Amino acid sequence: MTQYTNEVEKQAKLLEAEEWAVGVKAIHAHSLNSMWYDSRPQDTDGKGVMDIEYNDGLIERRLESGEIVYFGTRLTGDDLVYEWERSNG
């Protein structure tokens, strides 16, 4: 029965990491066009935005117009588990 121990532990970690991933890492309300991830400087040309960074690496930008745009990509699989372990060391 212990032959599956590693697989069960790996799956348990992945499930915990996926739950952690949707948590908010940071919220930043600003009008700066110099954020390291910002490829849309037109969003902040005299306007404010709210950027929400999630634990999985995705950044959601909410514009004054109500539009939502995304930066980055979601971590998945082993990459997500690695980041989860690093953050919860």
Q: What residues make up the domain containing 52?
A: 2-87
* pLDDT > 70? residue 44: yes
- Structural domains of the chain, count: 1
Q: What is the pTM of this model?
A: 0.86
Other C-beta atoms closer than 10 Å to the C-beta of 23 total 10
Cα 42 to Cα 1: distance, rounded to the nearest angstrom: 58
pLDDT at 1: 59
Per residue in 2-29, pLDDT (tens digit) is 778 999 999 999 999 999 999 999 999 9
